[in-house]
Amino acid sequence: MSITSIHEESAPPRKKLRSTSKKIVKSQNEHRLFVPFRALGHITNHVPFVLQTRSYKGATDGPRIHILTCLGRSWALWNGGKMDLLFVGPEAPDQIKSLVMDGDAVWAAAGPHAIKYLRGKEVLRVSNPLETSISFITIFGSQLLALTEDGGRMYCWNTASGELESTIQFDQGFTATSILHPATYVNKVLVASTQGSMQLWNIQSRICIHKFSESRLVSSPSGSLPSSAISALTQSPAIDVVGIGFTSGEISVYDVRSDERLMRMFMEGGGIRALGFRSDGQPVLASASSLGHIALWDLNEGGRLLHMVRGAHDGGISALEWVPGQPVLISSGEDNSVKQWLFDSPTAAPRLLKFRSGHQTPPHLIRYYGEDGKQLLTASRDRSLRCTFVVRDSRSFELSQGSLAKKATNLSIPIASLKFPPITAISHSSARSKDWNDILTVHSDETFARTWSMQSKKIGNYTLGFANADKGKGKERPPPLGSVKAVCVTACGNFGLASSSTGAIHMWNMQSGIKRRSFDVGPCPHEVTNQFRTSDKTSKGRSVTGLATDSLNRTVIASTLDGTINFFDFHTSKLEHTVTLPSPTVSINIHRDSGLLAAVCDDMVVRLLDIETRRIVRELGGFKGRILDITFSSDSRWLIATSVDSVIRTFDIPTGRLIDAFRTSSVATSVSFSPSGDFLATSHVDSNGIYLWANRAQYSEVSFQSISEDDIAVVGLPSLQGIAEDEALDELSPLFLQDRPAPDVFSTPPKLEGDLITLTLLPRSRWQTLLKLEQRNKPKEPPKAPEKAPFFLPTLPGVEHRFVTTQNDKETHSDNQSRRLERATGNSESVFLQKLNAEQPDGDYESFFTYVKTLSPAAVDLELRSLVTLDSLKIFLHALTQRLKSHQDFEAVQAFQNVFLRMHADIIISNSELQQDVEQLSKVQREESSRVLELIASSLGALSFVRDTL
């Protein structure tokens, strides 16, 4: 036996423990650009949930309900009142197979360990001595009872110290699956088995008191039919009475004291998965089946069926629990949902009160909705379209497909059979989301597209089909209808386009659903026919795989499976240009702001086209498998792609280089980059959740260097995150800068080589303010005359009015002191003059101009006005000349010349000593100005040549 105890007193603080240098270095080596942040959309799995109610003294709103669910390797605690998430526990070393609560503590069985958590922190761990997995645990007073996966042993640990107190080994032919403590039975538990029998054990003495044979628990003896395993075992409100459910669908209400079966029921639709007795005084038993049905049985009528809720869950139900003293039933299922059912009367059918749900199957298509980056549209093979909120997961919802529950009840069929086929493509525009439908979807093997409204959270009023649009004229046979392959909603949100596998492209008004115009891709080009050896040259066999429009509704772009990109005029629907690609085009994605179009080709290459020049500008390759999905960054600088080789690659579009790549444990089926640039969202082939990856470039400096296939590291998927701030900071710990500098990082030199001219890179407003500072400081009105002196001032006798002016010794002393200060001030030099005089005459005055660039425009103006001596004027003219010769700070020198000459023009003209310096400055100014104009003209000519050539 191995026991690991972690005491709170001896353990270091959590933040220090999680921010060790070893862990940070590991994270930095693994993550370059994207860091695992958190997972969304996980509610529960097949492990039964745990219900806990707590009553507080003086509470008026009833007891608080806590629901503990399993999330794979982690667990979540929910508030049953509002169904909001309270806390998410840390990840266990293995998949969790059983959960139980003991007051504030949470016990989880993961692999060979049973781990105790207190407030999200592991405080105790006990392990199976045989190192085999533990399949079931339960709390029995101060002890923890556990069953091994093979069902051969039961262990008993002390919950406080973790000491193994006893071990019970069962007989051959008895495989234990669950444990139940009958009410009022001291030190005794019931153990159920897969053979359909039960045993009553005394934990203290480790003695089997009684064995309940299968022949007495079920109707058919074991000899006539194969044994049926016990799949559910629960305590009833009555003492000595338990409910037993079997995989065959049979239910027995059994008296363990008299060893007698009281009632027998049989539930159609799969084996029994869970049982629950109502505890508010009504004799009702609830049972759940493996097909998702819930049955309610009246025990006063001998087990008569009251109601059958068909399709309560889309998959098997894992657990049922009644809220103590309330007519509320809580159920959880394998469809990733927890639901609460309310009974308005003892005989009325239950109605759904509240629920939390996610995707039942892994989502295969995700797209960010809106411009704030807070919502995600996700589609899955469970035939649902959901909106997932990134910030607050409790606001996530499924877009309604109509009153399917009522139809399914009337037809007695599952709800899943009435849902729409799986979605294969999504397009949206939130510009007019408050006015009409704003989402357009393509469904598998359907000949029409469907509209949705995010504002109303439901299916739209129109279906955009090809049947009416493609009717034949007169006696002509109507063309065949193909399935819809791609859709596009324009940036304005007024129009929606859809294309089919037969080459048809139509555009509808999103508000009215009326068809506006059609686009014809025409026959297959001759070069395409020769390249792919296509025999069908008509447009009817050209499958349109992608649609896109520009931001101003001027161009419609359509890609075909034969490898062409077609550009149409939006208003006239005329085909203007066709670009032939060397490989068939699978899909396209456009970044409207930059005008870049990405085409995913069948040769595992992503080709970028400029929709203005209609030319291929980049080809991004290096994939080892089929490309599944691509997405642009918000600034169109990066392109992120996922492929079958389970690698997510990030390309730098300006350079065409691969700057980041990491391999995940499972293939990412879809990727979407946040419009705000903070997160990358991915969906994976074996998980029901959405995973967020933080963009390190948003928080720290990242060196974008080319990487090779050898640099691709395996990165674990983001984990579920709790609400604690230290947990959130721990997830973001890899965002800190590395201690060691990144190798081969390019830094811009202070001066460019050759004849190029370097600018100051300061804001343009700095020099404009300096040039217009004199105008801004002009007085708004002429000075006013001083007011008349008061009448009470003393005057001297005489004809003229003269005021008394007395001078004492103090005033004379102050005048003498002010004169000395003036003389001292006149002899001192400012920092501006000191740096100007300290420079070498043949140098470039680097330190002087570096200091001047730090001054404000008003300070520069004041310093230039303080140049009153001829020597200082001469030195400043020489400094401007030398700076021009060094090809640096060109615009700053121009601004200084302008202001300087306006201030001191009279002095320069009247003093011939400055004439030579002014002529030298004028000569250098003409030479440098002509060089600047030549450089600008050369650059404009090169750009014009490149534009005309492309």
| Tens-digit pLDDT profile for residues 277-316 | 998 889 999 999 999 999 999 999 989 999 998 888 988 9
55 falls in which pLDDT band (50, 70, 90)?
confident
Sorted by where each begins, the domain ranges of the chain are 1-6+44-54+63-169, 829-950
Closest CA to 312 of 296, 299, 323: 296
- Does the pLDDT of residue 350 top 60, yes or no? yes
As a whole number, mean pLDDT of residues 891-913 equals 87
Tokens encoding 98: 């059983």
Question: What pLDDT score was predicted for residue 475?
Answer: 47
Q: Give the range among 351-355, 413-417, 435-439, 455-459 with minimum mean pLDDT.
A: 413-417
Helix or strand holding residue 309 (H, E): strand 304-309
Q: What are phi and psi of 626, to 5 degrees?
A: -60, 135
Cα of first residue to Cα of last residue in the chain, in angstroms, is 75
Question: What pLDDT score was predicted for residue 164?
Answer: 93
| Tens-digit pLDDT profile for residues 611-663 | 999 999 999 999 999 999 999 999 999 999 999 999 999 999 999 999 999 99
Question: What pLDDT score was predicted for residue 355?
Answer: 92
Are residues 178 and 192 in contact, defined by beta-carbon separation less than 8 angstroms?
yes
Question: What pLDDT score was predicted for residue 530?
Answer: 63
Angstrom CA distances, 48 to 250, 273, 867, stand at: 20, 10, 86
As a whole number, mean pLDDT of residues 566-595 equals 93
Question: What pLDDT score was predicted for residue 68?
Answer: 95
As a whole number, mean pLDDT of residues 501-530 equals 87
As a whole number, mean pLDDT of residues 723-733 equals 43
Report for 357-371, 476-490, 806-820, 855-869: range of highest mean pLDDT = 357-371
Are residues 483 and 500 in contact, defined by beta-carbon separation less than 8 angstroms?
yes
15 falls in which pLDDT band (50, 70, 90)?
very low
Question: What pLDDT score was predicted for residue 25?
Answer: 36
The SS3 call for residue 209 is: strand
Rounded Cα distance between 454 and 439, Å, is: 7
Rounded Cα distance between 459 and 461, Å, is: 7
Rounded Cα distance between 512 and 494, Å, is: 10
Over 341-400, what HEC string results? EECCCCCCCCEEEEEEECCCCCEEEEEEECCCCCEEEEEECCCCEEEEECCCHHHCEECE
Angle formed by the axes of helices 915-949 and 870-885, to 10°? 30
Q: Give percent helix, percent strand, percent coil of the chain, each to the nearest 5.
A: 20, 35, 45
Question: What pLDDT score was predicted for residue 735?
Answer: 45
739 falls in which pLDDT band (50, 70, 90)?
very low
117 falls in which pLDDT band (50, 70, 90)?
very high
More confident: 930 or 807: 930
Question: What pLDDT score was predicted for residue 330?
Answer: 96
Tokens encoding 729: 């900071």
Question: What pLDDT score was predicted for residue 733?
Answer: 47
Rounded Cα distance between 56 and 51, Å, is: 17
The residues facing 232 across adjacent strands are 245
Question: What pLDDT score was predicted for residue 281?
Answer: 87
838 burial type by CB count under 10 A (0-12 exposed, 13-18 middle, 19+ buried): exposed
Q: What are phi and psi of 611, to 5 degrees?
A: -75, -15
Rounded Cα distance between 496 and 464, Å, is: 9
Q: Give the range among 104-113, 338-347, 381-390, 763-772 with minimum mean pLDDT.
A: 763-772
More confident: 89 or 736: 89
The SS3 call for residue 405 is: helix
- Does the pLDDT of residue 158 top 90, yes or no? yes
Angstrom CA distances, 822 to 170, 826, 827, 828, 862, stand at: 107, 6, 9, 10, 18
Question: What pLDDT score was predicted for residue 532?
Answer: 58
Question: What pLDDT score was predicted for residue 307?
Answer: 92
As a whole number, mean pLDDT of residues 350-363 equals 92
Q: Give the range among 115-129, 548-562, 749-763, 797-811 with minimum mean pLDDT.
A: 797-811
Q: What is the DSSP-derived secondary structure letter of residue 431?
A: G
Are residues 385 and 377 in contact, defined by beta-carbon separation less than 8 angstroms?
yes
Question: What pLDDT score was predicted for residue 3?
Answer: 46
Tokens encoding 173: 């032919």
Question: What pLDDT score was predicted for residue 668?
Answer: 95
Q: Give the range among 67-81, 727-741, 769-783 with minimum mean pLDDT.
A: 727-741
Spell out a b/e string for 874-888, using b for 16 or more CB atoms within 10 Å of the CB, else e: bbbbbbbbbbbebbb
- Does the pLDDT of residue 13 top 60, yes or no? no
864 falls in which pLDDT band (50, 70, 90)?
confident
Helix or strand holding residue 634 (H, E): none
Maximal C-alpha separation, the chain: 146
Question: What pLDDT score was predicted for residue 497?
Answer: 95
Q: Which residue has the tokens 């008296």?
A: 255
- Does the pLDDT of residue 407 top 70, yes or no? yes
Q: How many CA atoms lie within 13 A of 440 on its CB side?
A: 30
- Does the pLDDT of residue 524 top 60, yes or no? yes
Q: Name the fold adopted by 1-6+44-54+63-169.
A: Methylamine Dehydrogenase; Chain H (2.130.10)
Tokens encoding 736: 């800190």
Are residues 65 and 96 in contact, defined by beta-carbon separation less than 8 angstroms?
no
As a whole number, mean pLDDT of residues 812-829 equals 56
Residue 280 one-letter amino acid: D
- Does the pLDDT of residue 8 top 80, yes or no? no
More confident: 913 or 669: 669
Are residues 108 and 87 in contact, defined by beta-carbon separation less than 8 angstroms?
no
Tokens encoding 854: 């730090």
Q: What is the pTM of this model?
A: 0.75
Q: Give the range among 16-30, 130-144, 796-810, 845-859 with minimum mean pLDDT.
A: 16-30
As a whole number, mean pLDDT of residues 376-393 equals 92
- Does the pLDDT of residue 586 top 80, yes or no? yes
Percent share of the chain, pLDDT over 90 = 51
Rounded Cα distance between 325 and 16, Å, is: 45
Q: How many CA atoms lie within 13 A of 383 on its CB side?
A: 11
Question: What pLDDT score was predicted for residue 456?
Answer: 92
The SS3 call for residue 238 is: coil
Average model confidence (pLDDT) across the chain:
84
Are residues 287 and 262 in contact, defined by beta-carbon separation less than 8 angstroms?
no
Question: What pLDDT score was predicted for residue 748?
Answer: 59
